[in-house]
Structure formats: structure tokens, C-alpha cells
Amino acid sequence: MIRYLRCMAVGVSLSILTPTFSAQSPATASNRYPYHFSNFVWWSDADLRLALKHKLPGLGDTLLPFGSKEGEVRLALIELLKTKGIDADVQVFDPPLQAAPRSPDASQLSIAFTIAAPPQILVGDVSLDGAPPEMQTSIRPIAQTLSGTPFASAASMANSRLHSLFQSSAYLSATTTFLAGTPIRTDPDHYVVPCTIKIDPGPAYHIGSISIDAGPLFAGTDLSNYVLEQPGELVVPHMLNRLVTTLRNTYFQAGYANAKVTYDPILDHQKAVASYNVRVDPGTIYHLRTLTILNLDPAREQAVRDILDLKPGDPYNQLVFELLFVKLRSNPLFTGYTFGSHPREDDKDHVVDLTVTFDTPR
């Protein structure tokens, strides 16, 4: 799949679309999903599931989106809230129907049951349990920003931010748990929930080894100078970016439109070591079949063709638009113009039909 950046600049703006070349079967209501409760702070997850299964015999841990059992769970939750003196509606958020159930993110898709305001259920004071001393000053601001936010989104927000922080600090196996305390009713329509973020940082990871399989374009090339860090040193964020960017761009420029570079760490938890195998899957070379430029006069169109320097039969270089953007930004003939690229990929013949559409200044 060919991908591009979106950029804006004074004079010329670049708006390049990301086309879709392969179709996936969309998720439908026949796919079962796990479900979770986003702000039912009066129960633990286990206790709430037990109460629901007592009310609804046969209830499992997955549901059909938009199904009758989903509606029964919603009504049962409303009744359970009344036992706590809370008269509130419950909203159901189903996964989007276009989400492919076998996609890489499928494990993160679930049905969410959420107490609708009123009452508002907000995060109160947040305490930390288990944070490494050297990271207290980095973690505490994250905890503080959660106070006063809706509880329904606080756990995912905290876990996401802390995950990024720990990953960038070499704690690659760190886990965090967002725990709710006893809700405090501050007025009829508001509850404040004191929370604790329980942290198990695990060890700081060191680099074990870095191997590079750079594919045919780099056969026999020593790429070790593209990675400054050495085995035995602490893992640092973005340490492979220079290498990965070089590999990806080189293949894109050579016409390998679907080249992929993988480099996920292999973790040895016992030794707290992360090893990396940087590998290129080049795919197939794509060539340009047609180039169409719309909405320009002949002189401007020729200027664009000269910059692109792409002719039918050439390997398709999808990075050439970065050069085009820079060149047109400094060319007074194109002041105020915007353009977008629309490549259509033919996977059978491995060719690309490219259309570049300009919008004239208003």
C-alpha cells in the first residue's frame, strides 16, 4: 500500500491522499466481541460480571453487537445501579462495523457499557504505587492531568501515556493498573473517584544484539554505522529510526511500493535483554504506467513533469512528492496552488496509474 504525508506550507499546500488497494471483509453483527465496563466504579470487574451472570443465566464473556443479549445486559446494569441509589441510563458503544475482526487491532476491539451522565463520574486525586524513584517526576504530571477528567476514559488514557513513557525509558515489560477507590458523591449529579495507578516497572532492558537483513538493494553493505547504540547499552527510544528510514526510503525510491521494514524487539525477560532483527520485505517493483496532471496550463504542467521526472515505464518513486512540494513552494508560478496525488495500484501487472490534481488559487 502506498502511503503519503499530509503537509501544509505558505504558498503551496500539499494534500496527498492514502489510497486503499486491497479490500477486507468488514466486521458484521455476526462477530462476537468481549465487553467491558468503563465507569461502573462501585464494583470490581469480576464482581460486576458475577452479578450480571446471576441475573442473566447463560451470559458468557462475549456478545453480539446490536444483539438481544447486549440489550439485556444494558437493562440489568441499569437495575444494578438502582441498588446503589443511582437512577441513570447506560450507553452501549459497539465496535465499528467496518473494523475487520482479524485485523492486527482486533484484540483491542470490545463492546463498552458506560453510565451516561447524569451523574458525572470524575477522577479525583490520583496516587502512585510502585513508580521507580528516578521516574517519579515524569509520571506525576501524567497522574495530575487525570484529576477532574471523566473516569470512563481515564484508565485507557493513563495506560497509553505511561506505556509510552516506560517504553522510552527502557522499561519494556512495565505494566500499569488503574484502580478505583470508593466513589464520593459531591452533589446529586457528580461523583468523584480517588484512584491509584499501580505500577510494576520490571527491569530496565539492555540491548542484546542487532541483526540486519536489508534485502537485495543492500547486499554486502555494512549498515552498522546507522545504529550508534551497542549491545550491552540501555535500550533508547528511536535508536533504529535512522536505519529504518534509510531502508524504507531507498526501497520506495527504487519502485518497491509495498516494501516493509520490521524491527520489533525480541525480549528475554529473564535476562532483561532486547534483541532486534531488522528485516526488509521488499515486495515487488512497481512501474509507472500513466501520469495525468489536471487543472494546469501547459507551462505549469510541464514544470511539474520536469520536477517529477517520472515517465511511463520508470520505477514508481512515491517519495518524489516531497521534492515536488519543496520545489513548488519556492516557485512563484505556483503561489497559492494546492495539489493532491491519487495513485491507483494494479497489483496484477505491478504498475501505477498516477493522477496529480491541482486546485487553482481562489
> Is 33-115 the same fold as 6-23+286-359?
yes
Determine the average pLDDT of the residues in 300-309: 94
Query: Cα–Cα distance between 50 and 329 in angstroms, integer?
Result: 63
Determine the average pLDDT of the residues in 181-210: 96
Q: Which of 345, 336, 350, 339 is nearest to 307 (CA)?
A: 339
Superfamily for domain range 206-281: membrane protein fhac (3.10.20.310)
* pLDDT tens figures, 225-239: 999 999 999 999 999
- The DSSP bridge partners found for residue 359 are 338
Determine the average pLDDT of the residues in 311-330: 92
* pLDDT tens figures, 339-358: 999 999 999 999 999 999 99
- pLDDT higher than 50, residue 106: no
- pLDDT higher than 60, residue 17: no
β-pairing, 184-187 vs 206-213, is unpaired
Determine the average pLDDT of the residues in 148-173: 94
pLDDT at 147 (0 to 100): 96
- pLDDT higher than 90, residue 16: no
- pLDDT higher than 80, residue 22: no
Determine the average pLDDT of the residues in 148-172: 95
CATH code for the structural domain at 120-200: 3.10.20.310
Cell 469480576 appears where?
46
> For the chain, what are the domain ranges?
6-23+286-359, 33-115, 120-200, 206-281
- pLDDT higher than 70, residue 103: no
- pLDDT higher than 80, residue 86: yes
Determine the average pLDDT of the residues in 299-307: 95
pLDDT at 26 (0 to 100): 40
Determine the average pLDDT of the residues in 317-330: 90
Query: Cα–Cα distance between 121 and 187 in angstroms, integer?
Result: 11
Burial 178-211 (b: 16+ CB within 10 A, else e): bebeebeeeeeeebbbbbbbebebbebbbbbebe
Query: Cα–Cα distance between 81 and 89 in angstroms, integer?
Result: 9
Q: Which of 131, 127, 110 is nearest to 178 (CA)?
A: 127
Question: Sign of the CA dihedral 201, 203, 204, 207?
Answer: negative
The rounded percent of the chain whose pLDDT value lies above 70 is 88
CATH code for the structural domain at 6-23+286-359: 3.10.20.310
* pLDDT tens figures, 133-148: 999 999 999 999 999 9
Global pTM value: 0.75
- pLDDT higher than 90, residue 30: no
pLDDT at 107 (0 to 100): 43
Domain 33-115 top-level CATH class: alpha beta
* pLDDT tens figures, 250-298: 999 999 999 999 999 999 999 999 999 999 999 999 999 999 999 999 9
Reported as a pLDDT band with limits 50, 70 and 90, residue 98 is: low
More confident residue, 10 or 36: 36
Determine the average pLDDT of the residues in 182-206: 96
